[in-house]
Amino acid sequence: MQPKIIQPVTALILGAVLISFSSVFVRAAQVPSSVSAFYRVAFGSVFLILACVIKKEFKPRSLKNNLLAVLCGLVFAMDLLAWHLSIHYIGPGVATILANCQVFVLTLAGFFLFKEKIRWIFVISLPMAFFGLFLIVGVDMDRLTPNQIMGVWFGLATAFFYSIFLLLLRRIQSDKDDFSLFYYLMVVSVVTSLFLGGKIHLSGESFAIPNLPSLTWLVCLGLFNQTIAWVMISNALPRVNASYAGLILLLQPTLSFVWDVIFFARPTGVAGWIGAAIVVLAIYFGVTGKK
C-alpha cells in the first residue's frame, strides 16, 4: 500500500520549491546545460539505487509499470533536449513561458481524461498565473524573427513532453498494488541518463567536471532535485488533481527567478516582483478555491 508520509499538496509544493533551486546548482556548477542535465539524472540514479537497496525495493514488479517507467524516462530525456534547444533558439525568457504551457495540457487532461471538476476560480487563475510569468521573464515578443519559429516549436514540445512525463509518472505511482517510493523513479532516472549520455557522446561534448566545487554542486543537483524533490512530487501526483498539479508546479520557474535575483544579482524591476506575486496568488486561489 502507498504510505501517507505527508499531505500531497504540501509534498507537491515542497518538491516544486526544491526543484526551483536547480537553476542555482546548474549555474554554480559551471558546465554546459546538457552536461549538467546528464549529471543531474546520473547522480540521481545513484542515490535512488542506494535508496532501493536500503528499502529492499528490488523485487519482481509489474512488467507493464516497468515498460511505462522506461517510456517515462525517454519522454523526460526528450523534454530536457527540447528545453535546451528552445533556449538556444529563442533564449530563456520565451522558452520559460512556452515550457510552462504544461499547465494547460494538464488541465485539459484532468478535465477530459480524469473527469476532474474545474471551478471557475481555477479557470481565472490559469491566465492570471501565465500573465505573472510573462512579467517575470520580461518577454519582448517583437524580438522574435521568422528564424526563431523553430525555437517556439521546441518550447511547445517541451511543454508537451513535460506534461506526458507527469501523466505517465502519475499513472505508474497510482498503482497501489505495485507502489514503490523509489524504484520506478530510479528506472526513469537511469533511462534518462543513458539517453542523455549517449547524446553527449555522439555530439562530441565533454563529460569533464572542472573542479571539486563543480562536482559538489552537481551532486547536490542529483540529490535534492532529481531524488528528494521528485520522490515528493511522484508520491503526491496520484493524490492531487492533474490540473492542480500543473498550477502548483508553476512555483518552480517563479522561485527560480527569486533565487536568481538573490544569489546572482539578476537585474529586475517592479514588474518582475509583481509577476512573482501574481503567480503565487494565482496558485493559492486556484488550489484553495478562495476568491
The number of folded domains in the chain is 1
pTM exceeds cut of 0.85: yes
| Residue 222 pLDDT | 97
Residue range of the domain that includes 209: 8-288
| Residue-level pLDDT at 96 | 80
Nearest to 189 by CA among 10, 38, 23: 38
Give the chain's count of helices (H) and strands (E).
13, 0
Specify if 2 maps to a domain.
Answer: no
Cβ pair 215, 42 in contact under 8 A: no
Nearest Cα to 200, choosing from 86, 77, 23, 97? 77
| Residue 240: per-residue pLDDT | 93
Give pLDDT, residue 143: 59
Which segments in the chain show pLDDT lower than 70?
Answer: 1-6, 93, 139-147, 290-291
The per-residue pLDDT for 144 is 58
**Residue that has been written with the C-alpha cell 520580461 in this structure:** 138
Decide if 87 is inside a domain: yes
Nearest to 35 by CA among 253, 266, 199, 237: 199
Query: Is residue 3 one of the residues assigned to a domain?
Result: no
pLDDT of residue 147: 62
Residue 1 falls inside a structural domain: no
The overall longest dimension of the chain from CA atoms, in Å, is 55
